[in-house]
Structure 1
Amino acid sequence: MFTHTASKRSLRLAGVLTAACATAALAAPTASAASAHYPAHHQNYSWSPRPTGVQEQFRGLAAVNARVAWVSGEQGSVLRTTDGGHSWTDVSPAVAKADGLALRDIEAWDSRHAEALSIGEGGDSRIFRTDDGGQTWQQVFTNTDPAAFYDCMAFSSRGIGLAMSDPVDGYFRIARTTDGGKSWKVLPTQGMPPAFANEFGFAASGTCLVSAQDTRGARPGEFWFATGGQSPRVFHTTNAGTSWTAETTPVRAGDAAGIYSIAFKHHGTGVAVGGDYTAPTDGTDAAATQHGTSPWKASRTALGGYRSGVAYVPGRGNVVIAVGPTGSDVSRDGGRTWTTFDGTDYDGIHCATDGACWASGPDGAVAKLMTPRHTHGQE
């Protein structure tokens, strides 16, 4: 039977990465300083910090547009900005703060409506919902199975949402909402391929599960989730979790290795990033791409290190950005090749449909992506 050793490691991930990357963090205290030693032709991509004034690590991130974003943290905090990150409001769920829950994922539709997922074994895995900008929260889901450990969630454009747990009795577990997150139900596993021994998800940035919400030709029931362990895979559903297929990938395998984040531009065109978080500076075999009906293929060049978040930049063709504890990489060809452009520590990245991309990470770090001839995020 599957054990949650890997999931327990994911719960401690923030401390592991902070210790492993202390030298890199000290060497790169600001985005501008971090990018100074990279090739000039890549410095047209940079991060513009949006300080939050707190020291909590923010792995959960929801970019609504250039002005509105939400972040969620390791001690139960939720912050929201409505002015492009120039000021932040603490709108934390009181229960999450009191219980010290790790809110590793947050999804938001606008400045008022959001849902946040806490991770952990048993009852620590919960989902909170707000419809009034965080003034009040409702706990809409509580995991009742002590063997389950929820890692991430995602919503489709029609209010269908899924949350993914590490395997229980040999199968990944999925909870689903069909009413925009007001209520959740755990699905049966008849349509789920069996999990491999020591296969699991990573609760690193809330992007181990994604939907087709922001993709071209979006299908309301289309989702993907990614795994780590002995043979990292990408699972795919087109009917909102009723049945799934799974494909192996060339991303590095191991007890602490695999795919940490996935993103899709449209059906059949996606990118996966990860690596081994115990080897944060090693980006070999840490990225793969899928194009059309072809199998997943390894990227032709290595990432700058282990990466925990990835996103396509809307309106920029095949430009993809990946982030992690040792820096950020840009790909202009959909993930086939990569170049590091910054050395700042970020855990997650999320891009809004208006083209604004946000990143979040340790010590309250939040930033917005500045791109060539780009004004998104600059007020």
Structure 2
Amino acid sequence: MRAVVRKLAMAGVCGAVVAASLAVPARAAGGPSWRPAPTGSDARFRGLAAVGHDVAWLAGSGGTVLRTTDGGRTWQNVAPADGAGLEFRDIEAFDARRAVLLAIGEGDASRVYRTSDGGRSWTLGFKNDDPKAFYDCVTFFDSRHGLAMSDPVDGRFRIISTSDGGRSWRVLPSKGMPPALEGEAGFAASGQCLVSHGKRDVWLATGGGSRSRVFHSRDRGLTWTVADTPLPSGPASGVFAVAFRDSRHGIAVGGDYRPGEPSPKAAATTGDGGRTWRVASRPPAEYRSGVAWPAYSGPAAVAVGPTGSDGTLTAGRTWKSFDTGSFDTVDCASDGTCWAAGEQGRAARLTFSRAG
């Protein structure tokens, strides 16, 4: 019991440090910053699983999968032997040994792998056999129960489910899924177009159509409701990522991913589990592809994109830039440690330096 209390206390301290770091003005002496963790790779990492201060997993282009167990000082290549050339866009890790990995693409390029030995070996749990399906993101409620989502097949988003930690998957019935809009899809940009919280809640973020929307299921993907968001939507724009602090309070970020294109209204918030969304009163100034809500940080959250990083202390209503480096995805572990990753092998951990 004392060990559990110490663990919870430390998680609370880490979350408080994240919140304090985001409160410091970006140009002040000290404050939040990303501490680089050189990977030695030139892959673009859009998949990231933060396990803790020492352990993180990266999934990226060219069949690249890396893992660190020493806080980013060194990285090991732990990619599946048959993964050369695959585009790995999402990864969910439970500890330093167990992880589930998603490859995206047309037809059988969409796959889900699983490891239980730190990536020394992988088993293929799912290979897509429908040429109309294209899988974007994966999420887990616990170490056994998870979902992955595909762009619409026959007019509805497709969901596959596992109850054995990714060893096997089944396609869920589509009757509980509302119809998709013309052109609507998920964006496989950060592994955050499908996210879960707690034992049963899961949200699916979209764009590409006439409206950007967020779908919500309270029963692990069997039935869904859907709500419009105020983020502009089009072939290159919409909601790219969502994060939830609990079953009610959430943040959505996105915009237009094309370089140089304006991205007004790039963030929105919900306080009712996604039934309604309000545009941020001061959103990030540019497109953001990833967002994370650290445990025990209260209203503090962080968003990233190719042109920089932003923090909020108001649960997503107002944002302030604190870094101009390029990242595609961000994730925070249960101990409050936040990692980010992106192009040219970039990986980093969020740190806080005190002024003076």
Give TM-score, length-normalised by structure 1.
Answer: 0.84
Give, as a single letter, the amino acid of the residue that structure 1 aligns with 2:152.
Answer: P
Q: Post-superposition shift, 1:282?
A: 3.0
Q: Distance in 1 between matches of 2:351 and 2:146?
A: 31
Shift of 1:315: 2.5
Residue in 2 that maps onto 1:20: none
Q: Deviations over 1:148-179 (max 9, x none)?
A: 00000000025211000000110000000011
> Of residues 339, 342, 348 in structure 1, which corresponds to 2:320?
339
Percent of pairs identical after alignment?
51
Q: Residues 281 and 326 of structure 1 are in contact (CA less than 8 Å); yes or no, is this contact kept in structure 2? A: no
Partner of 1:169: 154
Matched, 1:84 2:71: yes
> What secondary structure is seen at the aligned counterpart in 1 of 2:62?
coil
Q: Which residue of the other structure, out of 280, 295, 309, is the alignment partner of 1:299?
A: 280
1:283 deviates by 3.7
Q: Does 1:202 align with 2:187?
A: yes
Following the alignment from structure 1 to structure 2, what is the Cα–Cα distance between the partners of residues 267 and 211?
Answer: 9
1:144 is matched with which residue? 129
For the 8 Å contact 1:283–1:302, the answer to whether it is kept is: no
Counterpart-to-counterpart distance in 2, 1:222 and 1:340: 30
Aligned to 2:42: 55
Q: Does 1:356 align with 2:337?
A: yes
- Paired AA for residue 305 in structure 1: E
Distance 1:181 1:340 in 2: 37
Tell me, yes or no, if structure 1 residue 249 matches structure 2 residue 229: yes
Inter-partner Cα distance in structure 2 for 1:90 and 1:280: 34
By how many angstroms is 1:279 displaced?
4.4
2:5 corresponds to: none
Q: CA contact under 8 A between 2:139 and 2:196: conserved in structure 1?
A: yes
Q: Distance in 2 between matches of 1:120 and 1:339?
A: 35
What stretches of structure 2 of length at least 5 have no aligned partner? 1-24
Indicate the residue corresponding to 1:215 in structure 2. none
Change (3 A) 1:372 1:62: same
Q: Where does residue 15 of structure 1 map in the other structure?
A: none
- The Cα offsets for residues 319-375 of structure 1, whole Å up to 9 and x where unpaired, read as 1100000000111101100111100000000000101000000111000001366xx
Please state how far the C-alpha of 1:41 moved relative to its aligned partner: 4.5
Contact 1:280 / 1:325 at 8 angstroms: preserved in 2? no
**Alignment check: 8 A CA contact 2:207 2:238 kept:** yes
Q: Paired residue for 1:67?
A: 54
Q: Which residue of 2 aligns with 1:310?
A: 291
Show the 5 A alignment for 1:179-258. 179-212=164-197, 218=198, 220-229=199-208, 230-258=210-238
Evaluate the alpha carbon distance shift between residue 53 and residue 169 of structure 1 in structure 2; reply closer, same or farther with a 3 A threshold. same
Matches of 1:341 and 1:283 in 2, distance apart?
A: 18
Cα–Cα, structure 1 residues 95 and 360, in superposed 2: closer, same or farther, change >3 Å? Answer: same
User: Shift of the alpha carbon at 1:298?
Assistant: 0.2
SS at match of 2:108: helix
> What is the TM-score of this pair, normalised by structure 2?
0.89
Query: Aligned to 1:340, what secondary structure does the other structure show?
Result: strand
- Pair 1:133–1:147, CA change in 2 (3 A): same
Between 1:199-208 and 1:297-306, the stretch displaced more is 297-306
The one-letter code of the counterpart of 2:155 is G
Candidates 301, 304, 311, aligned match of 1:330: 311
Deviations 1:53-75 (A, max 9, x none): 11111111000010000001111
Q: Is contact 1:51–1:85 with CA below 8 Å preserved after alignment?
A: yes
Compare 344-353 and 40-49 and name the one that shifted more: 40-49
Contact kept in structure 1, 2:48 and 2:92, CA below 8 Å: yes
**In structure 2, distance between residues paired with 1:68 and 1:272:** 26
The amino acid across from 2:37 in the alignment is R
Matched-pair contact (CA < 8 Å) for 2:27–2:322: no
Q: Would the alpha carbon gap of residues 202 and 280 (structure 1) be closer, same or farther in structure 2, given more than 3 Å must change?
A: farther
Q: Find the residue that maps to 1:371 and give its secondary structure.
A: strand
Alignment of 1:116-155 (within 5 A): 116-155=101-140
Q: Secondary structure at the match of 1:75?
A: helix
C-alpha contact (below 8 Å) 1:71/1:79 kept by paired residues: yes
- Match in the other structure for 2:10: none
